[in-house]
Amino acid sequence: MDQLASYLRQHRSEHLEWARALCRIPSISTKDERKGDVRAAVEWTRDLCQRVGLKANVHETGGHPLCYAEWLGAPGQPTYLVYGHVDVQPEGDLSLWDADPFEPVVKDGLLICRGSSDDKGQVLLYVRAAAAWLATEKKLPVNLKFLIEAEEEIGSPSLDGFMAAHRDLLRCDHILISDTGMYADGWPTITYGTRGLLYKEIFIRGPKHDLHSGSFGGAVPNPANVLARIIASLHDERGRVTIPHFYDDVVEADASEREQFRRLAFDEAQFARDLGVAGLCGEEGYTTNERRWIRPTLDVNGIFGGFMREGKNTIIPKDAGAKVSMRLVPNQSGEKLSKLFDEAIRARCPATVRLEILDHGSADAYMAPLDSRPMQAARRALRETFGRDPAMIREGGSLPILPMFRKLLGADSLMVGFAGPNCNAHGPNENVRIEDLDLGAEAVAALLKYLVK
């Protein structure tokens, strides 16, 4: 391992330039005018994989292309599939950036640019580790495949079809992913669970056009008022969701897991200050981290309707609406909860207005097995590289790719994140600590060693 670490340390400057070169490509998958740049990022990744000694190709899909690479020279050893993505979010408001989002800046130990943490900087850690093994040992200790896509930021619409059509190509024993974060700066983190997602949209329709609130107020149903009452009814005074049977299938976290979360350093007052809120709230009987990670939630993401522009216009709006998302925990069914949500909204909506509910899809929650070989190998590799045990957490967000991998490939996933809590992924001045990338590459190199049978 000393030889591997020595190689990686000697090549840190070169590997940083890899990240900078890839991050210079504005591979924004949400913009049609950036299709060429998205392809360029995929082709750049293929070229790098080939350069370090992997067999790599670009594969076409119904949308943006993807890069597949492999090294399969370890007969009798397990096969691991590295997943990552090289598409990025739009730059957003340029006035909030300190520099061009696609001209990487190194400042105060940070690599600052779009894609530095999500996910270009992190996915390259596996290429760096493979390069170190092939340069020093002329082989990898296990078989390694790479699936690096370019549609993650738009929901990976082509990926399930590609996986279904290429099951043999992608067959593996386990998935390796670094597209998550660290619990704290310099604290390596394994994320072993994510919440699921259900997204709904409500429309309340009243009169055929906006009405004068003086002439008709108090006599004609107001869709905005109806919507407000419905939304206000979705939580009780204890912070619980009031949809009947919403919690029926929830599996409570056991006492040992809750104690594990409580041992993680967490300053609620500082957390609130960082977010710019006066205080925290949520379901009674649970800590903030538990509310974020292991409890199901319902949140209104947007409310619209009526007069929204500057000035005043005293009307009864003809319609109003809201977008609502629910985060689900293991054992909850998006299909079942969608029906329960619809039933609850219909029961609370008066017959004097017309109701329409749209379903924008769902994704299952995911829990990785804690006793797997990759999980134990990762804990050992991270402990040796960073000098401390990794934080073991769940994530409140959703990663639909995880249950997709389990369903289509029959493989579970290991998620090890190296992006700090202040990385600003998707936001201005996205960044990653260069030290965390460097140690991350060493940790991945060690992980490959410990993944052998």
HEC-encoded secondary structure of 47-76? HHHHHHCCEEEEECCCCCCEEEEEECCCCC
Query: What is the mean pLDDT of the segment spanning 143-152?
Result: 98
Over 70: is that where the pLDDT of 108 sits?
yes
Cβ count near 122 (within 10 Å): 28
Q: Is 397 helix (H, G, I), strand (E, B) or coil?
A: coil
184 DSSP assignment: B
Q: What percent of the chain has pLDDT over 70?
A: 100
**pLDDT tens-digit readout, 167-197:** 999 999 999 999 999 999 999 999 999 999 9
The answer to whether residue 265 sits within a structural domain is no
- The residue type found at 292 is R
- CATH number, position 309: 3.30.70.360
Question: Two tokens at 4?
Answer: 């591997």
Mean pLDDT of the chain: 97
Are 347 and 374 contained in the same domain? Answer: no
- CATH number, position 50: 3.40.630.10
Cβ count near 390 (within 10 Å): 23
**pLDDT tens-digit readout, 276-307:** 999 999 999 999 999 999 999 999 999 999 99
Q: What is the pLDDT of residue 1?
A: 61
Q: Checking DSSP bridges between strand 366-367 and strand 319-328, what pairing results, if any? A: unpaired
Contact 238, 286 (CB under 8 A): no
The C-alpha atoms of residue 109 and residue 24 are separated, in whole angstroms, by 19
Number of separate domains in the chain: 2
The answer to whether residue 45 sits within a structural domain is yes
Are 352 and 374 contained in the same domain? Answer: no
> 132-149 b/e with 16+ CB inside 10 Å = b?
bbbeeeeebbbbbbbbbb
Residue 199's Cα: distance from chain center in Å?
Answer: 16
Are 181 and 232 contained in the same domain? Answer: no
The answer to whether residue 270 sits within a structural domain is no
Q: What is the pLDDT of residue 243?
A: 99
The answer to whether residue 282 sits within a structural domain is yes
The answer to whether residue 377 sits within a structural domain is yes
Are 187 and 104 contained in the same domain? Answer: yes
Are 134 and 31 contained in the same domain? Answer: yes
Q: At what angle do helices 2-10 and 12-23 cross, to 10 degrees?
A: 60
- What are the strands, taking DSSP E only, across 269-407? 297-305, 315-316, 319-328, 354-363, 366-367, 391-395
Are 95 and 165 contained in the same domain? Answer: yes
> 189-226 b/e with 16+ CB inside 10 Å = b?
bbbbbbbbbbbbbbbbbbbeebbeeeeeeeeebbbbbb
The answer to whether residue 303 sits within a structural domain is yes
Last residue of a domain, one of 304, 331, 363: 363
312 DSSP assignment: -
Are 184 and 218 contained in the same domain? Answer: no
Over 70: is that where the pLDDT of 43 sits?
yes
Are 213 and 113 contained in the same domain? Answer: no
The answer to whether residue 246 sits within a structural domain is yes
The answer to whether residue 261 sits within a structural domain is no
Are 233 and 309 contained in the same domain? Answer: yes
Q: What is the pLDDT of residue 78?
A: 99
Residue with tokens 């670094």: 178
Over 70: is that where the pLDDT of 317 sits?
yes
Contact 45, 67 (CB under 8 A): yes
Q: What is the pLDDT of residue 311?
A: 96
pTM (predicted TM-score): 0.92
Are 355 and 427 contained in the same domain? Answer: no
Q: Domain range spanning residue 223?
A: 196-254+278-286+293-363
Are 111 and 185 contained in the same domain? Answer: yes
Query: What is the mean pLDDT of the segment spanning 58-85?
Result: 99
Are 351 and 391 contained in the same domain? Answer: no
Last residue of a domain, one of 363, 394, 413: 363
Last residue of a domain, one of 324, 346, 363: 363
